[in-house]
């Protein structure tokens, strides 16, 4: 399969009209042997038009048909797992264990969406039957369900070549919802993306999906993404990346003649509040916090960027132990020289701020030479200084955490008030302390998408109760998750039928509930037929 890497896939057809480029091996700092071709404006147009044409057929398929397609994608990926893992490692610099783990998660996600849509719970079925005798006016028959919004442009993520990219959460949830997908591959791992795209297209053919249900476009500039989002056939956007990139796409989509939703996961510093008992019991927490900071060179959206604790008799020893634990973590290669350079630049900018004390690492801007191993930086600042300086609130993507020392409880409350939206907020301590700081915890819950007790923020469980999202700027819409089956809801909209003949209704809204689907009928949730 590796020999098929390179062209754009417009439905089942290949096209390579654009300029050629290669991806980089970040461990060896040399080009990979895979030659890819950027998508031209014409190719982007054809992919979007074909996606729209396919949508009207694909949207009408049953949940079972779409589920079989998703399961086939996972199976086809598994047949070329060895090739995918090999290329993944050469493009990302990440270890094989990480590649295998992310591969498994991606296949699990696909199958979990398949299981969910077979039950059709995502349709949010509601029925209110007519009452012709009602006074002063008769009540009409109303039946509501969710329908797909249209073709979706999905952007591959830099830090997750599989789980948040080609067949990852955005693509899998959009396909599950009944939307077609045009995928813009991330230029850092375009060859990995190409292999996964081949598996998706083979699965589409095997399960007799309409041509155009999925297309795959290469790019190495911002222009391709802008053209795709601007195309009138595209009805929604999925993005995981930087605040700058996500906001640019959001603004572009809002300025269209017909604005479209952009569901973007962006920046987050994921505050960790370390209460006095956790500081006192440092042996329990310093190593796990350090490991969370250093995981994959800190290139996680849930990396713990803020460590908040009270300055007391135990805090100095806690910080010392944390610094030592961080030094003992292994070195990891960053994903790309550009990410390494941004880390160096943003690190240096933050460390130049008044009142910031460097505890580990360097404050200088180092250029990549023969390696781009992530530096491990820990700094400290007072709560007052942090509150007064918004530049200290910015994410540094990499192994960088800022310790904030509190003088009192009011410091903590005011600090939380100043925070922008975050994906996660963590509280470490004993249960009795949680009650003592209930006011502060209640404030924190309005700033985050996931509130974690006695755990580090890295690690996202793929399950129905997971919320991977949060208030702006962590995402563009805090009402939705990017992980778990509820992420399907991003790509659906409600539709009501009023006094519709049963022959024209979707089967799930018929009086006779042959498939025993759970529905809310006249305010009662059940799977019974309507007599």
Domain with residue 195: its CATH number is 3.40.605.10
Pick from 101, 255, 98, 87: which is nearest to 185 by CA?
A: 87
305 and 448 together in one domain: yes
223 and 123 together in one domain: yes
One digit per residue, pLDDT tens: the chain, 531 residues?
A: 788 899 999 999 999 999 999 999 999 999 999 999 999 999 999 999 999 999 999 999 999 999 999 999 999 999 999 999 999 999 999 999 999 999 999 999 999 999 999 999 899 999 999 999 999 999 999 999 999 999 999 999 999 999 999 999 999 999 999 999 999 999 999 999 999 999 999 999 999 999 999 999 999 999 999 999 999 999 999 999 999 999 999 999 999 999 999 999 998 999 999 999 999 999 999 999 999 999 999 999 999 999 999 999 999 999 999 999 999 999 889 999 999 999 999 999 999 999 999 999 887 766 555 568 889 999 999 999 999 999 999 999 999 999 999 999 999 999 999 999 999 999 999 999 999 999 999 999 999 999 999 999 999 999 999 999 999 999 999 999 999 999 999 999 999 999 999 999 999 999 999 989 999 999 999 999 999
User: Any catalytic annotation for residue 301?
Assistant: yes
- What CATH number should be reported for the domain holding residue 341? 3.40.309.10
At residue 21, φ and ψ (nearest 5 deg) are -155, 165
437 and 380 together in one domain: yes
319 and 404 together in one domain: yes
Model pLDDT, residue 366: 64
User: Any catalytic annotation for residue 463?
Assistant: no
> Mind giving me the DSSP string for 321-337?
HHHHHHHHSPP-B-S-H
Model pLDDT, residue 368: 53
CA 194, CA 276: separation in Å to the nearest integer? 50
208 and 241 together in one domain: yes
How many independent structural domains does the chain possess?
3
181 and 43 together in one domain: yes
CA 121, CA 517: separation in Å to the nearest integer? 8
430 and 501 together in one domain: no
Model pLDDT, residue 371: 67
107 and 242 together in one domain: yes
Model pLDDT, residue 373: 84
Ramachandran bin of 385, using left for φ above 0, alpha for ψ from -120 to 50, beta for the remaining angles? alpha
Pick from 292, 271, 306: which is nearest to 423 by CA?
A: 271
**Domain around 364:** 272-453
Q: Is 471 within a domain? A: no
Q: Is 23 within a domain? A: no
Q: Is 174 within a domain? A: yes
In the set 71, 102, 265, 405, the catalytic residue is 265
Contact criterion met (CB below 8 Å) for 67 and 178? no
Q: Is 17 within a domain? A: no
In the set 89, 107, 179, 301, the catalytic residue is 301
At residue 287, φ and ψ (nearest 5 deg) are -70, -40
Q: Is 172 within a domain? A: yes
Q: Is the peptide bond before 377 cis (omega within 30 degrees of 0)?
A: no
254 and 330 together in one domain: no
Q: Is 135 within a domain? A: yes
Please, how many CA atoms are within 13 Å of residue 48, restricted to the half-sphere of its CB?
24
Model pLDDT, residue 364: 73
Q: What Rg, from alpha-carbon coordinates, does the chain have?
A: 25
Contact criterion met (CB below 8 Å) for 368 and 341? yes
Q: Is 12 within a domain? A: no
299 and 186 together in one domain: no
Model pLDDT, residue 331: 87
Model pLDDT, residue 6: 92
End-to-end Cα separation, the chain, in angstroms: 56
E strands in 111-191: 126-128, 142-148, 152-155, 181-184
207 and 283 together in one domain: no
Model pLDDT, residue 363: 74
Q: Is 464 within a domain? A: no
CA 472, CA 329: separation in Å to the nearest integer? 32
CA 298, CA 335: separation in Å to the nearest integer? 11
156 and 179 together in one domain: yes
Model pLDDT, residue 353: 97
């Amino acid at each position: 399969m590796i020999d098929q890497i390179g062209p754009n896939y417009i439905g089942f057809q290949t096209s390579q009209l654009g300029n050629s480029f290669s991806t980089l091996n970040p461990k060896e700092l040399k080009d990979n042997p895979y030659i890819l071709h950027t998508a031209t404006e014409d190719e982007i147009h054809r992919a979007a038009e074909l996606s729209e044409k396919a949508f009207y057929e694909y949207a009408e398929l049953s949940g079972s048909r779409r589920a079989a397609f998703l399961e086939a994608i996972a199976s086809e990926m598994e047949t070329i797992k060895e090739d995918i893992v090999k290329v993944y490692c050469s493009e990302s610099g990440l270890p094989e264990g990480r590649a295998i783990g992310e591969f498994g998660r991606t296949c699990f996600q696909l199958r979990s969406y398949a299981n969910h849509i077979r039950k059709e719970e995502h349709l949010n079925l509601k029925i209110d039957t007519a009452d012709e005798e009602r006074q002063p006016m008769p009540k009409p028959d109303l039946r509501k369900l969710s329908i797909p919004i249209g073709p979706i442009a999905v952007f591959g993520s830099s830090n997750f070549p599989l789980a948040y990219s080609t067949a990852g959460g955005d693509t899998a949830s959009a396909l599950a919802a009944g939307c077609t997908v045009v995928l813009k591959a991330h230029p850092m791992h375009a060859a990995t993306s190409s292999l996964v795209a081949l598996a998706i297209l083979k699965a589409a053919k095997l399960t007799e999906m309409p041509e155009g249900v999925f297309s795959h476009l290469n790019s190495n500039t911002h222009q391709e993404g802008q053209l795709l989002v601007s195309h009138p056939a595209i009805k929604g956007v999925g993005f995981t990346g930087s605040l700058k990139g996500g906001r640019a796409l959001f603004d572009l989509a809002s300025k269209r003649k017909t604005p479209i939703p952009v569901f973007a996961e962006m920046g987050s510093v994921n505050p960790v509040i370390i209460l006095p008992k956790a500081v006192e019991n440092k042996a329990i927490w310093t190593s796990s916090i350090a490991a969370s900071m250093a995981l994959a060179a800190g290139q996680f959206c849930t990396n713990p960027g803020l460590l908040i604790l009270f300055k007391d008799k135990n805090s100095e020893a806690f910080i010392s132990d944390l610094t030592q634990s961080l030094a003992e973590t292994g070195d990891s290669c960053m994903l790309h020289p550009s990410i390494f350079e941004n880390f160096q630049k943003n690190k240096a900018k933050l460390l130049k701020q008044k009142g910031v004390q460097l505890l580990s690492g360097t404050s200088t801007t180092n250029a990549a030479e023969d390696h781009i191993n992530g530096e491990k930086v820990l700094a400290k600042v007072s709560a007052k200084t942090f509150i007064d300086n918004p530049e200290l609130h910015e994410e540094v993507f990499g192994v960088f955490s800022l310790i904030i020392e509190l003088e009192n409880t009011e410091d903590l409350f005011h600090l939380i008030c100043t925070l922008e939206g975050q994906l996660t907020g963590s509280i470490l301590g004993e249960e009795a302390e949680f009650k003592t700081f209930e006011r502060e915890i209640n404030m924190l819950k309005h700033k985050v998408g996931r509130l974690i007790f006695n755990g580090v923020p890295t690690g996202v469980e793929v399950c129905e109760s997971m919320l991977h999202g949060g208030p702006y700027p962590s995402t563009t819409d805090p009402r939705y998750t990017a992980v778990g089956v509820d992420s399907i809801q991003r790509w659906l909209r409600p539709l009501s039928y009023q006094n519709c003949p049963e022959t024209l209704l979707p089967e799930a809204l018929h009086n006779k509930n042959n498939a025993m689907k759970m529905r809310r009928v006249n305010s009662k949730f059940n799977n019974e037929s309507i007599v």
